[in-house]
Amino acid sequence: MSYRWIILVISMLGFAASTLARNYISGVAVFIASDLHVDKGGIGLMASAFFYAYALAQLPWGIASDRWGSRKTVATGTFLMALAILGFATSRSTTQLVLWRVAMGVAAASVFVALAACLARWFPPKERGLSQAVYSGLGGGFGDGMAFLFAPILLHFSKTSSWRTASIIMSVAVLLVAVLCAALLRSSPSHLEESHRDERWTFGMVLDPHLWSFTFVYAGSMVAQRLIPTWLPLYVADVFIARQHLSIESAAAMGGFIGLFYVLGRSFGTPVGGKISDVLLRHGISRFTLAVGSLIVTIVFLSILSGGVTQQLFLCVLGFCLGVSINMWTLVTAAVSEHYPVRACASAMGFINMFGQFCAATALLASGYLGVSLNSQPGNAIEEYRGIWLVGIAACALTALLGILVQNVAVRKEVVLINAQANAAKLERPGLSA
């Protein structure tokens, strides 16, 4: 078996650990809120604090990965992530929770861009869509599943456990992943080390319109990906508390159960989408076009959710469909790896992810407060989520539009350049210079 498949498995575990750290708050938020009396605005602040730090650290970690390799970068960051989760478990106030989430965000930022670039080096273009989708779909889906289900199930069946106990167990699991990354991960095949040594990220690449078209579309997916995993389990829990009068533990478990369908959509739908993109690419349909289409589909699903869906079966279906549509950002990372040099790929992805995560963190921070302020029925917890879903709809629509406009600019520039080069070539031919 080629070692690239071992690299893929290790990358999936690394991304699962990062995703667990990101979305862990979804599984324990209801318990933290009860224990430390944190409202939805505080939950949004706690979640967004992670993502602002995560966004700010993207480009530095990407540059570090291009210079020092994915293995050192990911192993170091994952080790620091385990320490931050352990610190989070000791928090006694909202301020401490936020500070540890910031530390967690800085550490977790080391994983995604470094491993996405690593896979781009190990897998050929014909397998790149599939490998990136499996990496983020199955790896991220496993992390999401742990975030949604582990703490609620542990606390539902073990009355002696707490969200702090669950945090400690998760920190140990992340530490084991750090050890595996240090032992088994390889930054690139040996034959690429010399041939691509001089290809580096330059800040002049920021002027490339392709970079911005990728960035806008990616940002829309990130906003949706932050809103849905964070708020959907809480929405479901509030539905079952309000409509069926379940206990907080049972309602949280139901939120995790519905969240599992989102995980299934992400885990299995995303790799299928990646494979389809590999096939369609050979027929002239770009990954960028498919990524924009996924944003449009996400808008439709969020519009349905904003209508106040409470039926369990319908929520399961919506969770699965959203798990597929909002995670097709893997098509953007595959397109980036095909557009930029191998040794500049992590830095380019770091820039794209930095912008996307800032947008996502801002949307997440605003969503909790907008949910409260736009509630037309004060005291009705379910109605508070309408504003949250509207934030996702607006973000997906705006970023899809901007991505299309900037992509058209990029294409026009390429056409002008090609025509200029063709004219120059004609003038250089004998007998045509006059």
The pLDDT confidence band at residue 225, using thresholds 50, 70 and 90, is confident
Q: 434 lies in a domain?
A: no
In this predicted structure, the answer to whether residue 141 has a pLDDT above a threshold of 90 is no
Please report, for the domain that includes residue 367, its CATH number.
1.20.1250.20
Please determine, for residue 198, whether its predicted confidence score (pLDDT) is greater than 50. no
pLDDT at 75 over 90: yes
The pLDDT assigned to 81 comes to 94
Average pLDDT over residues 60-70: 86
Q: Of 250, 295, 263, which is closest to residue 404 (Cα–Cα)?
A: 295
- Is 8 within the bounds of a domain? yes
pLDDT by residue (tens digit) across 342-382?
667 777 888 898 899 888 878 877 887 776 666 666 556 66
Q: 220 lies in a domain? A: yes
Residues 6+ apart with CB under 8 A from 379: none
191-197 average pLDDT score: 49
pLDDT-based confidence at residue 148 (cuts at 50, 70, 90): low
Most confident of the following: 109-113, 264-268, 289-293: 289-293
CB-CB contact of 295 with 217 (8 Å):
yes
Work out how many domains the chain is built from and give that number. 1
Q: What is the pLDDT of residue 429?
A: 62
**What amino acid is encoded at 299 in this protein?**
I
In terms of average pLDDT, the best of 28-32, 66-70, 215-219, 410-414 is 215-219
* Least confident piece of the model among 73-87, 317-331, 372-386: 372-386
**H helix and E strand count, the chain:** 19, 0
Taking each helix axis as running N to C, give the angle between helix 312-325 and helix 270-281, from 0 to 180 degrees, rounded to the nearest 10.
40
Does residue 431 lie within any of the structural domains?
Answer: no
Which pLDDT value is given to residue 101?
92
Residue 338 has pLDDT above 60, yes or no: yes
Sign of CA dihedral 233, 238, 239, 245: positive
* pLDDT of res. 157: 58
Residue 405: what pLDDT?
95
Of 203, 168, 194, 217, the residue nearest 410 (C-alpha): 217
Whole-structure pTM value: 0.75
User: What pLDDT is stored for residue 155 in this prediction?
Assistant: 60
In a domain, 432, yes or no: no
The whole-number pLDDT of residue 40 equals 67
Spatial CA neighbour of 174 closest among 267, 83, 256: 83
Residue 424: pLDDT band by 50, 70, 90 thresholds?
confident
pLDDT digits (tens, 9 = 90+) for 115-130: 988 888 888 878 888 8
Output the six-digit token pair for 404: 């299309």
Measured distance CA(431)–CA(51) in Å, rounded: 62
pLDDT confidence bin for 9, thresholds 50/70/90:
very high
Q: Distances in Å between the alpha carbon of 88 and those of 25, 222, 234, 253?
A: 11, 24, 20, 22
Instruction: State the average pLDDT over residues 134-148.
Output: 79
Residue ranges making up the domain that contains 153: 3-186+205-423
CA distances from 99 to 50, 51, 77, 106 (A): 9, 12, 17, 11
Across 408-425, average pLDDT = 78
Q: What is the pLDDT of residue 196?
A: 46
Q: What is the pLDDT of residue 197?
A: 46
Tell me if 230 is assigned to some domain.
Answer: yes
Q: How confident is the model at residue 79 (pLDDT cuts 50, 70, 90)?
A: very high
Can you give the pLDDT at residue 432? 46
